[in-house]
Amino acid sequence: MAILSDKDIKKHIQSGKIVIDPLKEPERQIQPSSVDLRIGNEFKGFKIIRKPCIDPMDESDIESYMESFYIDDGEPFIIHPGEFALATTYETIELPDNLVARVEGRSSMGRLGITMHVTAGYIDPGFRGKITLEISNIGKMPVALYTGQRVCQIVFETMTTPADRPYGHPERDSKYMNQERPVTSKIKHDYELVRRKNNKL
* Residues with catalytic function: 134
111 is in an annotated binding site: yes
167 is in an annotated binding site: yes
124 is in an annotated binding site: yes
146 is in an annotated binding site: no
Which CA distances in Å does 36 have to 3, 71, 90, 108, 148? 15, 21, 11, 12, 11
175 is in an annotated binding site: yes
109 is in an annotated binding site: yes
Task: List the end-to-end C-alpha distance of the chain, in Å, as a whole number.
Answer: 45
Peptide linkage before 22 cis (omega within 30 of 0): yes
16 is in an annotated binding site: no
106 is in an annotated binding site: yes
- Residue 106's SS3 state is coil
136 is in an annotated binding site: no
Strand partners, 143: 79
Q: How far apart are CA 89 and CA 42, in angstroms?
A: 9
Pairing of strands 35-46, 84-94: antiparallel
Q: Which residues are annotated as a binding site for dCTP?
A: 106-111, 124, 132-134, 153, 167, 175, 179
Annotated binding site: 106-111, 124, 132-134, 153, 167, 175, 179
